[in-house]
Structure 1
Amino acid sequence: MNNFKIKLSTFLLLLGFFLVATSAFSQQVADKIIVKVDNYIILKSELELSYQNYLNSQDGKADPNAKCEILRQLLFNKVMYAKAEIDSVIVFDEQVESEADNRLSTMIERAGGDEKKLEEYLGKSLADIKEELLEPIKEQLTIQKMRSEITADAKITPSQVRKFYKAIPKDSLPFLPAEYEVAQMLVYAKVSKKEKDRVKKQLLDIRTRIKAGEDFAALAKEFSSDLGSAAQGGNLGYRGRGELVPEYEAASFALKSMEISEPIESEYGFHLIQLLERRGNLINTRHILIRPKPSAEDMVYTNHFVDSLRTLIVKDSLTFAKAVFEHSADRNSKNNGGRILSRQTGSAKLVAEDFDYNTYLTLDTMKPKSVSQPLPFRSPDGKEAVRLLYFINKTKPHQANLNDDYEKIYQAALGDESARMLDDWFYTAIKELYIDIDEDYNKCGLVEGI
């Protein structure tokens, strides 16, 4: 399977995120069923929407075979979805609900945290938006699970990696951009006891109003700092043990059905929690989150504290890794010396696009093995912090080679092997399914070749 197919497959997996915004587009397309796979169908509007999104991502430089390749991938996904039903590959409703809540939260954040703005843009209520997300998400998660099961035994040896690399024409080896290795130490501002007491009192007042008959969901929408769950009346859906922060989880499992907790403090702020239902080790809760806000004095104190740590690091009296382990609030990097990982690949080798503008500008003024001055930082969930950046290393742009880029080439070879396994599986699977392709689209040779 070539690179175009691999990239396009990833693109199509991500497409489900945008489906709620497509109704106007679909109405412009004279719709019809173009493929049937058992009880599942592919509509002309699905193909046209996917193709349009592909064109938008290519800056006008489209592959001439793109539309056929997109339809081929849509068919591949429908075959996996239909076969998953036969093989009883199940994605639980709780997982689908949780993913829908996460995506709705992200959509609200991208709309500037304004729920009404999102509703106006899409012409739908938040409840309707979430409802339209559920089926595409269920299909997407099921397909991902099927892919994982099909390719679970994919393995590649060092000799196969070398063989894969040597088979690539020299003029086709990718030219890799500059890569950065960067670590951070993140320290949230410590708020005063007075501010914490203010927040706890506010939540206790809200609790009193709920007990007096006011609607929990309405008050969550009005007061909660957790914008994603606030849009759902504070509901977090069903979660198992280990899925929630310890303080929240412990308080939730101690509650009786429909009971409301006292204010509970966690790393995110203070929660008012109501247990809606418990099913064994699964709990369905809703909450109202209010974050204490650090004062200007709190920020000055935090900045001084971080600067004192920087002085010790620069003088070699303290290693950056130890400072991170003892003081950093970033749990994802606390145990790996503070290394920042790419959200796209999970790698510690970052490219310019992995950084926000201000971070990139800061790194541009630094040399490898240097530590930045204390920098103000706001976390994605709105918490004020101060951080230090440690610029570990930077590699120059270069053409891919085995010495410098073995891991990337290994992953490409592994991906190629996984693709071969998927191809073999597909040819076997289609013999068990009813497939009907509209004659106008059969010219793509959908069944004959992937």
Structure 2
Amino acid sequence: MVRTIRGIAALLLATVLIGAVAGCSSTDAVARVNGEEITRAEFDTIYEQILAQSGGQLDDETALAYKKQLLEMMIDSALITQEAEELGADLSEEAVTERLSQLMGGADEATIEEQITAAGLTVEDVRKSVRDQLANEFIQEKAASETSVTVVPQTYSQLSHILVSDEALANELYDRATDGEDFAALASENSSDTASAIDGGNLGWAPTSDYVAEFASAADALEVGEISEPVQSQFGWHIILKVAEAAEGSEISEAPADLQAMLAAGGSEIALQQYVAQLRADADIEYLDESLAPSE
């Protein structure tokens, strides 16, 4: 079940994470999904929102990685909405209006339009995004009812890290950690990532691919129990410890108990990922902007 957040914040979240922005007349498209175009105008609109939320400018490499990830999310959204339409989901104007009213805390149409405009969006933008959200919920429910998830859907890692801004300090901490000093104590005393530092640098379980590219690449190369040399990302210098790992395709029943519990709690999301993977396998997807195509 998707938790809704009242007010314009919920609408912005839905627009950025779930649906593509509508109302664009541009014929310049970045991708085509089963004949349906994702225009550059809608792509750029959402990217600018993400850029603003991330705090400003990114270096070219990071910006390109974010853009590629965004396009994949938009392709998934298009596939989900197409599938929901095909299966007869209620994506009617009435259903969208009802959900929109719920998101806005029961506000009247005039208030809703005023808040949407103040957020720099249009009513058409938001209604398209809410429609895609309804489609996502419909397909997620269908996927969960049909899918028995028994294998890990992608590689998950349990990682700890130490984050510092100075390369020399990172090298010093790496030497101390590899010489046998307690990693958790070093993280608690030195890491600028205060959220994880209070737990000895523990980042918990997550798909390795969820991290920024430099961090993910370094973590992916580690063996369990191994510590990485300092690796730089947009956030600073990281020293990474791989505590545990569960490979994609491995049996969930053989995974550590805490990961099993996490995957069980997110079972409907995993089912949706598998459902969308099959939609992708059957789809005709064209990357019209080759710079945004997945790397070989």
TM superposition score category, shorter chain reference: 0.3 to 0.5
